[in-house]
Chains A and B, each alone.
Chain A
Amino acid sequence: MWGSSAVSQNAPSRITRQEYILFGTTIFILIALGLWWITLMGRAIKTEDAYNRLQIQYEAVVLAQTHSNSTLEHAYLEIQTDSNTESGWRTPVLHMPDHYIGIKKSHEVALDKTFVRRKFMIYGEGVLLIGLLGVCAFMLLRLVTIRKSVQNEMEMFVGQMTHEMKTPLAGLRALLQTLQKGAIPPEKMQKVLDMGLQQIDREEHLVQTLLHAQQLRISEKPFAKEPFGLLEFVSKFIKHRISARNSDPESYVTKIDEMFRCVGDQQAALTILENIADNAEKYGATKLVFEALSDRGKIKLSLIDNGQGFDQRTALHLFEPYVRGSKTDGQHGTGLGLHISRRLAQAMGGDLIGRSDGIGKGAVFILSLPEESL
């Protein structure tokens, strides 16, 4: 159980780091947008206020002009920078001789294109700000979605693992308790002991797969790159399968050149073969053919079965975690075997692909590994 525990404890931490980054970025953007919004509103208020004041002042000037029956011919307009404002706000100012209307100081005038342009700028910034707020909302939504998806995935993982690890244990426990009671008839003894050993082998394979999954996650311990003979390796695998799983020796066929040599981690390669063979068995295969060829520096090992196969829809998601083939409701399996197998193959510099001509037409899985260079 510790294998399962190690994975389930480590799995969320990676996600949490990603979530931290996403959440931190979103909060930072929101704070920046908030400050921007305050500045923007300040500017808008100032512009509006200045505009209104200048409008009133202009009207006052026109009124004064009317009353004094004079003209503003000596008035002139200049653009001056207000040094009191941080933004260096450029303010149009109307200078007029004092005697015209009796106003002794300069008057700001708003009827200038600068203000109109400024207002457009503010509107533009406002639209951009709303757009960025939309992006933030999307990011937060995505964050929630990721969290929910991770939670669902973890629940599924724990559920599947619990089931996959506890079921063989239940059988073994029941076997030992039944043995203790002396309830097993002598004629059935050998059969149930064989079943117990097969159960232990399945449990061992499950633990090994989980350990490899953990190794892939932490990436601190790279996989070995040792050369090994493919025919000898596959023969050992078949021999183990026949003895540990009580498989029919006739169900395995090898067509492998004894000269083919691969480079990789044999234990990881064994896990891949076990997963493929387990899948084939689960989906009704009675025969598994091993064929190999050498292709551009890679040894391609094909595992051809006569089982149920899969349709095009399943093929698209075959190596995704928790994807199960059709017609497997309630079937045993973690839903991680092929996913981990492909990642193991890729970690060794190879790959794993699967294909089928459709339901009822069997499946072919091709494991490619680097060929030993001579």
Chain B
Amino acid sequence: MSLHHILVVEDDPLTATMLETNFKFEGYDVTLVTNGRVAIELLASTSYDLILLDYMLPEVDGQTILRELRKSDAKTPVMMLTARSETPLKVSAFAAGADDYLSKPFHVDELLARAKALIRRAAR
């Protein structure tokens, strides 16, 4: 069975490292990106089983990345990760094409469970 490939776009170094560590510990293949522009470049050439997207990122924000992605790829599940928990922001993220939304600080186990659920649904 091939490893599921996850793209983590998160600019906070500790959160990013912890996400990478946990997904690797769970047996996933992880690509870590800390910059929005680099994420767009990667998404243009590579496909992933799940994308974890921070909202506030240097150069290009998470929602813009999501909109760009959804122009060509409507299927890859995307989970937004952000410290902002206002309802309008969540609604706007879902409208832009997000499949899930998790507010920081999150519980690692909950994040992993949601990620697995998203990958499982996408694989059907």
Residues of A within 8 A of B (CB): 159, 162-175, 177-178, 181, 183-185, 188, 191-192, 195-196, 198-199, 327-332
Contacts and interface: CB of A to CB of B under 8 A. Distances in A.
B27 to A, nearest CB: 11
B14 interface: yes
Contact of A330 (B15, B22, B57): B57
Contacts of B14: 168, 171-172, 174-175, 192, 195-196, 198-199
Interface residues of B, number: 32
Interface in B3-23: 11-15, 17-19, 21-22
B109 interface: yes
B59 A177 contact: no
A332 B12 CA distance: 9
Contact of A169 (B84, B86, B104): B104
Given A162-B84, A166-B104, A171-B14, 9 more contacts: A163-B56, A166-B103, A170-B106, A174-B106, A177-B107, A199-B14, A329-B61, A331-B56, A332-B12
A170 B25 CA distance: 19
Contact of B60 (A165, A169, A329): A329
A170 B8 CA distance: 15
Nearest to A161: B83
Contact of A183 (B22, B62, B83, B86): B22
Contacts of A330: 11, 36, 55-62
Nearest to B105: A170
B104 A167 contact: yes
Contacts of B56: 163, 330-332
Interface string B83-117: 11110000000000000000111111100000000
Nearest to B36: A330
A174 B36 contact: no
A164 B109 CA distance: 23
Contacts of B76: none
A290 B59 CA distance: 29
Contacts of A162: 83-85
Nearest to B13: A195
A178 B11 contact: no
Q: Which 8 A-B pairs have the closest CB atoms?
A: A171-B14, A170-B104, A166-B83, A174-B18, A170-B105, A183-B25, A330-B61, A171-B15
Contact of A163 (B17, B83, B106): B83
B83 A188 contact: no
A174 B19 contact: yes
B29 to A, nearest CB: 16
B18 A178 contact: yes
A310 to B, nearest CB: 16
Contacts of B106: 170, 173-174
A167 B84 CA distance: 10
B58 A171 contact: no
Contacts of A329: 58-61
Contacts of B22: 174, 178, 181, 183
A181 B59 contact: no
Contacts of A183: 21-22, 25
A174 B85 CA distance: 18
A331 B86 CA distance: 19
A237 to B, nearest CB: 22
A195 B20 CA distance: 14
B50 to A, nearest CB: 17
Contacts of B19: 174
Nearest to A188: B21
A329 B57 CA distance: 7
Among A163, A164, A170, the one with the most B-chain Cβ atoms within 10 Å of its Cβ is A170
Contact of A195 (B17, B105, B108): B17
